[in-house]
C-alpha cells in the first residue's frame, strides 16, 4: 500500500537534474560539451523551471537554485532534493548531512532542505515526473537544433518552458502557469532583499606570520591565532575567517597581483611600529644623532633596490644608539664613513671594539661627502618626501 501525497500550496519545491544531456558546440574549437538540465517543480501547481549548466558541481547546483527562486519571484518553505553530493555530503535516513554552502544558501532564503530518502523515488515523485516532462518537452524538442553557447541554449529552454507552463493539463481547463498564479504564488514567501552569493569553506591553519592561505593569496588574522585551526569562508568579493563560529577577520578578496593582504590591527605592536617608519622619518631621526649618522642611514637606504629593504638595518642603528648613546653613535658613524664601511654590522663592530674612541687618521677638516652616484639623493630628497 502507498500513502497518497497531498501537496499544499507554497510548501515544497522539488529539484533534480535530468538524466539526459544537451550538446553545446564550442564555435572556436568544434569541441562538444554536454550540458546538464536542472529541473525544479512546485508541488501544488506543477509549475516548472528548467536551466542548462555544464556540471552538477556545487557552483552550478547553487546558481540554478538561486535562478529558480528568481524565476518564481518568491520562495517555498521546503526544498526536496536528491542525495547529490553537491547538496548532501552524507546520506542518512534520519540525519542527512548537508553541504555547508548549500545549507547556508537555504538559510539565506529561509528555506528548509529535506533530502529524499535513498532508493525512495516516491519521496520526489513530483520532480521525477517533472524531469520526464522536461525531457519530452525540452530536450526532445531541441534535439535537432545546434547550440554554440550555454546562453543560447538557455534562451531556447526558456521559451520551451514558457510554452510547457502555459499548456493546459490533459483533461483540465487550467495550465501550470494559471494554477501557479491562482493558488501557489499567494502562498509563497517574498525573496530576500539581496541575492545569495556563493561561498566556499576551507579548513586553514594560521601560519607563523599570522596569515592564512586561499587561492594562492594570504590574508591576515589576529596574531594570537598563530598555529590554530580556523575556518575560512570565501565569496567572490570577501574573505572571512572564523573560529568556533565567531568571525575574527574579514578582508576584501584579492584578485590582482598582490599576494599578501594584511590588516595592521592583526599585527603585534612591534610589527605595527615597524610599518610606521618611512625613509624620511629614519633620516630625520638619524639627523638628531649627528650629520654623520644621517649620512650612514641615507647610504644604507640608497644601497638597496627599494628603501624598505634597508629599514631593518636602520632600526638596528636605533637600537645601537639607545645602547651606546648619541655621542658614541655619531663617532662610530663618522669612522664608518671614513673607512667606506657603511652598514649596520660595521657600525656595531666599531662600537663593540671601542674604535669610535680612537682618533681618525685625518681628523682635521670636515667629513668627506658620500661619493657621487646617480642613485644618491641627499638629505633634501627625504625631507621633500615628508
Among 126-135, 141-150, 361-370, the range with the most confident prediction by mean pLDDT is: 141-150
327 bridge partner residues: none
pLDDT per residue over 308-321, tens digit each? 567 778 888 988 99
Domains, the chain, with CATH or none: 12-190 (3.30.420.10), 200-267 (no CATH), 277-385 (no CATH)
CA distances to 227, 293, 348, 374 from 289, rounded to whole Å, are 41, 6, 16, 27
| pLDDT on residue 309 | 64
Q: What is the pLDDT of residues 85-117, one digit of tens each?
A: 665 655 545 456 778 888 889 999 999 888 765
Cα three-residue angle 381-384-386, rounded to 5 degrees = 115
Per-residue pLDDT, 37: 94
Summarised one tens digit per residue, pLDDT across range 37-92 is 999 999 888 899 999 999 988 889 999 999 999 999 999 998 888 767 665 655 54
What cell does 54 get? 555544464
Q: Compute the average pLDDT of residues 290-306.
A: 86
Is residue 325 scored above 80 in pLDDT?
A: yes
Q: What angle, 0 to 180 degrees and rounded to 10, lies between the N-to-C axes of helices 326-339 and 344-352? A: 120
Which is more confidently placed, 308 or 154?
Answer: 154
Q: How far is CA 377 from the centre of its chain?
A: 42
What does the pLDDT look like over 205-248, one tens digit per residue? 998 888 999 999 999 999 999 999 999 999 989 999 999 989 99
**pLDDT score recorded for residue 279:** 80
Q: What cell numbers appear for 237 in the block?
A: 568579493
pLDDT on residue 44:
85
> Whole-model pTM?
0.62
Average pLDDT over residues 300-307: 75
Amino acid at each position: 500500500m502507498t500513502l497518497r501525497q497531498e501537496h499544499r500550496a507554497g510548501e515544497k519545491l522539488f529539484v533534480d537534474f535530468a538524466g539526459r544531456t544537451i550538446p553545446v558546440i564550442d564555435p572556436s574549437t568544434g569541441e562538444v560539451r554536454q550540458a546538464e538540465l536542472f529541473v525544479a517543480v512546485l508541488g501544488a501547481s506543477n509549475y516548472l523551471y528548467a536551466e542548462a549548466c555544464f556540471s552538477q558541481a556545487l557552483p552550478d547546483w547553487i546558481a540554478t537554485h538561486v535562478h529558480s527562486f528568481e524565476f518564481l519571484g518568491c520562495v517555498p518553505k521546503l526544498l526536496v532534493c536528491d542525495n547529490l553530493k553537491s547538496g548532501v555530503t552524507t546520506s542518512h535516513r534520519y540525519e542527512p548531512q548537508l553541504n555547508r554552502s548549500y545549507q547556508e544558501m537555504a538559510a539565506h532564503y529561509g528555506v528548509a532542505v529535506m533530502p529524499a530518502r535513498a532508493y525512495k523515488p516516491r519521496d520526489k515523485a513530483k520532480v521525477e515526473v517533472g524531469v520526464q516532462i522536461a525531457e519530452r518537452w525540452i530536450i526532445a524538442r531541441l534535439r535537432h537544433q545546434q547550440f554554440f553557447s550555454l546562453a543560447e541554449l538557455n534562451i531556447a529552454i526558456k521559451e520551451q518552458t514558457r510554452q510547457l507552463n502555459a499548456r493546459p493539463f490533459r483533461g483540465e481547463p487550467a495550465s501550470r502557469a494559471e494554477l501557479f498564479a491562482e493558488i501557489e504564488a499567494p502562498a509563497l514567501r517574498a525573496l530576500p532583499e539581496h541575492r545569495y552569493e556563493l561561498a566556499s569553506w576551507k579548513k586553514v591553519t594560521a601560519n607563523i606570520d599570522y596569515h592564512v592561505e586561499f587561492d594562492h593569496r594570504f590574508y591576515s588574522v589576529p596574531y594570537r591565532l598563530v598555529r590554530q585551526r580556523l575556518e575560512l569562508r570565501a565569496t567572490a568579493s570577501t574573505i572571512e575567517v572564523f573560529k568556533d563560529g565567531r568571525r575574527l577577520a574579514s578582508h576584501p578578496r584579492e584578485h590582482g597581483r598582490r599576494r599578501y593582504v594584511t590588516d595592521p590591527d592583526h599585527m603585534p605592536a612591534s610589527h605595527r611600529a615597524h610599518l610606521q617608519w618611512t625613509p624620511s622619518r629614519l633620516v630625520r631621526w638619524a639627523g638628531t644623532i649627528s650629520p654623520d649618522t644621517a649620512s650612514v642611514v641615507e647610504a644604507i637606504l640608497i644601497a638597496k633596490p627599494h628603501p624598505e629593504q634597508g629599514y631593518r638595518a636602520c632600526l638596528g642603528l636605533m637600537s645601537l644608539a639607545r645602547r651606546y648613546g648619541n655621542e658614541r653613535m655619531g663617532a662610530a658613524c663618522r669612522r664608518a664613513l671614513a673607512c667606506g664601511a657603511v652598514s649596520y654590522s660595521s657600525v656595531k663592530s666599531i662600537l663593540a671594539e671601542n674604535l669610535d674612541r680612537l682618533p681618525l687618521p685625518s681628523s682635521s677638516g670636515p667629513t668627506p661627502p658620500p661619493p657621487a652616484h646617480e642613485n644618491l639623493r641627499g638629505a633634501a630628497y627625504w625631507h621633500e618626501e615628508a
